[in-house]
Structure 1
Amino acid sequence: MAAAQLRRSLTASLVRVAVLAALFALLFQCTVHPSSHPAKATATAADAAEAGMRQLLTRQAAAVLHRDRPAFLAAVDPRATGYLTRQRKVFDDLADVPLAAWSYRLVATGAFPLPPAADGTVRTAAQVELRYRLTGFDTQPVSATYYLTFAHRDGRWYVAGDDDGAAAGKHSAVELWDQGPVTVVRGRYSLVLGPGSVTALRRYADEADEAVPQVRHAWPDGWTGKVVVEVPGSLARMAALLGAEPADYRNFAAVTAGEAGGTATFHSDRVIINPEAFAGLSEFGRQTTLTHETTHVATRATTTANTPLWLSEGVADWTAYRTAGRTAREIAAELSTAVAAGRVPAALPADADFHATDAAALSRAYEGGWLACRMVADQWSPARLTDLYRAVAAGGSVDSHLRATLGLTLPAFTARWRAYLQQELA
């Protein structure tokens, strides 16, 4: 009996130990090991969400290239009625633009503050990069940044807006097709895009076609020998394309995108017209303006942050005016007036002078840069001018490159330029 009771007591004890061990193991699994699982689950959910958004962007990009309107609009949130209406129009307005490539890249999520949706829809604020190329003209893509709202509903993602980030200073880029239907005119060396008629845009194409051979004579290498010109409907729309304020470009008849900055990054250059200022130009002014801007397209590969504006703008004007058949006093009217009054500039134009809001001061800056480059071409040679331009772009001080190319220090070059102004303009 005692032995049996002992066996029963030992058995009960062993059972209790086993039960306690099982409970302890279960408790340990529930309270210790899963500490890393929420993070893994969150990461997995985030990865899945980003994968879904990337797939959506890939489908929408393919729809643009294949001109598939239903597929393009299927990516847009049907509840975002205002955005959906705008996207219908954007797709239609893009119809005639010759696209060689069009793609989106999801850069980041959480790109701007986005309050919860009233209906509980899951939403994500994203930064997205658009890259596209125009057939026959772009060897490198134009890249533009968009701040998009994505919505997840019923197991699928949609794009629900492109302006929710504006309050936080995150403005989506603007392209011509965001402003209305785009008319396309092809020239021999040019592609002109804008909202105007074919007749109106044909004149720009003809002028660009005349500009390209002039530029190729001065800059035969390092560019395609083609130019894309965009003609928006107003100064305000030009500024929107550049991600800038209209006042910044009021005094400019045209600019070359990439020179100007803004929200778009133009690896392939665009000459963008200010139609209000361009309309006031003479035929000579229109032609020299387009030749000037086309020179910026040609010299892009050899223009860097090291290149002072007196040299880059001066070379562009030298190319535009080299066969003009006009005197320096006729072309540099503002600087001529200053020199005649004894106000000879003490120094070459500074970069800030090319951003002057006063039209006369801005003209004097451009005229001074032009005459500096004209002096090099006249007193040395055009080849020496282009050698100087390329050398400066590579880095190092302007003074060192003037010494190596022309045999003059910067002060000596400046003194020679001041004498040249008096000789040509007084």
Structure 2
Amino acid sequence: MLRRALVTALLALTISATLTAPTQAAAASPLDAVKTLLTARAKAEVASDRAAFADTIDPQAPAAFRDAQLKSFDGLTSLPVQSLSYDVRVDLIGDLTRAVSRSEYGGATVYLPQTIRALQFTLDADAPGLDDMWWTYVQRDGKWYVGGNDDVTDLGLEPTESMWDLAPVVTLQTPHVMLIVHPENRDRGQALAASAENALRTIAQRWTLPWPGRLVGFVPSSPDELATIIQATIDVKKFVAFISYAFDPESLRATVPRLYVQDTNLSRYGTAQQTETLVHEFVHAAGAAYTGPYTPAWAQEGLADWIATGLPKPEAPTPQLNDTPPRNDQFGAGSQTDIVRAYRDSKSLVAELAVLKGKAAPFDFFKAMGADIVRPGNSDYVVDKSLAVLGLTTGELIGALRRG
């Protein structure tokens, strides 16, 4: 599971201090003018008004940028969008304009705040997904335009690229799932959508907490395309699927989760294994509303695997398990064997919790960890406090698993 937007926000908080030194006589902020520009852009996209959208692009922008913007417009307007808006703000990470070379824009006035796209598809739950766009705005003859999107890549702030930015897409929709695929993958997408519906029926029998029960998913054509879309910092070729969501900057709660399929791997499995994998991912989606910044990977992955495999009894721990649960990095780094062991030990810890305290205990533990978004301590502290509610310590849980 990925938290791309949260990582981006934390990085941005780090770099802003070096880019936004106060000045004695700061120029008037163009924030309101840029917000007006983006309101017009969003209105054009929702209305599929290509000419109005084109009017928001810098008329002096390179042809490649202009063409890419129009390609993105064509792709997005082919999809069933419920709502679309943009927010521009400098209160979270500051003004990044000093990172922009004005010479790249012919010496024109430029502006680079944080731009957040809020995009909700018709099948999404009652909230949008959030994406950082990192657009540079340029003023020409008193009018503001979108002029660039790669001026802060050297700072690690990559522009968001969606499937429809890269190639044409189509949608495949069932009662509870909407998959976005490239046209040449339509048949495979239909098979995946059927497996997803089967997975959701399984979730309904095993997941006990409220959640919307529907999801939008993406099926890129290759691992490289997937890595680009989710801005992966791990080797996606080792995995089969991901759930991705951001944390809302105001509430710090998870935004709407989205499914991303690494189908080069998933398609090698039989139908039953594919469905089990999707159950695992849908547990992450269902658990997003109950997840907090301190919820560790072992609790999330362990719960997902435990539910996906039918609420089994615990297995004996692997040689990799020491006096603490698997670390977050062990789920993305290391050999394939190491990653598999981290998942297995996590599932067994959750299963052991169910043996000791009842089948509801893993859900109570999970809810307790995410109940308070802002709290003192770190992830280990939150785990200890949440287990204490059930009358356990981390050491006692691991000890019970070792004793069998």
After TM superposition, the score normalised by the length of structure 1 is 0.76
Q: Does 1:280 align with 2:268?
A: yes
The aligned residue for residue 223 of structure 2 is 235
From 214, 219, 226, the counterpart of 2:214: 226
State the superposition RMSD in angstroms: 2.8
The aligned residue for residue 383 of structure 1 is 360
Q: Which runs of 4+ in 1 moved over 4 A?
A: 117-120
Quote the Cα distance in structure 2 between the aligned partners of 1:416 and 1:127: 48
Q: Taking structure 1 as reference, are residues 53 and 377 closer, same or farther at Cα in structure 2, changes over 3 Å only?
A: same
Contact 1:399 1:409 in 2 (8 A): yes
Q: Does 1:55 align with 2:36?
A: yes
Quote the Cα distance in structure 1 between the aligned partners of 2:257 and 2:157: 24
Quote the Cα distance in structure 2 between the aligned partners of 1:380 and 1:168: 47
Equivalent AA in structure 1 for residue 48 of structure 2: R
Quote the Cα distance in structure 1 between the aligned partners of 2:240 and 2:226: 11
The aligned residue for residue 198 of structure 1 is 186
The aligned residue for residue 64 of structure 1 is 45
User: Relative contact order: is structure 1 or structure 2 higher (C-alpha 8 Å, sep ≥ 6)?
Assistant: 2
Equivalent AA in structure 1 for residue 371 of structure 2: A
The aligned residue for residue 102 of structure 1 is 84
The aligned residue for residue 398 of structure 1 is 383
Instruction: Give 1:117 shift.
Output: 4.9
Q: Taking structure 1 as reference, are residues 149 and 304 closer, same or farther at Cα in structure 2, changes over 3 Å only?
A: closer
The aligned residue for residue 20 of structure 2 is none
Contact 1:163 1:171 in 2 (8 A): yes
**1:3-402 residue pairs with structure 2 within 5 A?**
43=27, 46-47=28-29, 49-80=30-61, 81-108=63-90, 109-111=95-97, 112-117=99-104, 119-196=106-183, 197-245=185-233, 247-258=234-245, 267-322=255-310, 343=319, 345-347=321-323, 348-378=325-355, 380-394=357-371, 397-402=382-387
Q: Taking structure 1 as reference, are residues 87 and 398 closer, same or farther at Cα in structure 2, changes over 3 Å only?
A: closer
Consecutive unaligned residues of structure 1, counting only runs of 5 or more, are 1-38, 421-426
Instruction: Give 1:63 shift.
Output: 0.4
Quote the Cα distance in structure 1 between the aligned partners of 2:382 and 2:78: 47
The aligned residue for residue 397 of structure 2 is 413
Equivalent AA in structure 2 for residue 414 of structure 1: I
Please state which structure has a larger fraction of its residues in helix: 1
Instruction: Give 1:170 shift.
Output: 3.2
Consecutive unaligned residues of structure 2, counting only runs of 5 or more, are 1-23, 373-380
Quote the Cα distance in structure 2 between the aligned partners of 1:369 and 1:252: 17
Q: How many residues align?
A: 361
After TM superposition, the score normalised by the length of structure 2 is 0.80
| SS of residue in 1 equivalent to 2:103 | coil
Q: Taking structure 1 as reference, are residues 412 and 166 closer, same or farther at Cα in structure 2, changes over 3 Å only?
A: closer
Equivalent AA in structure 2 for residue 320 of structure 1: A
Instruction: Give 1:401 shift.
Output: 3.7
Quote the Cα distance in structure 2 between the aligned partners of 1:117 and 1:251: 39
Contact 1:193 1:230 in 2 (8 A): yes
Q: Taking structure 1 as reference, are residues 53 and 408 closer, same or farther at Cα in structure 2, changes over 3 Å only?
A: closer
Equivalent AA in structure 2 for residue 105 of structure 1: D
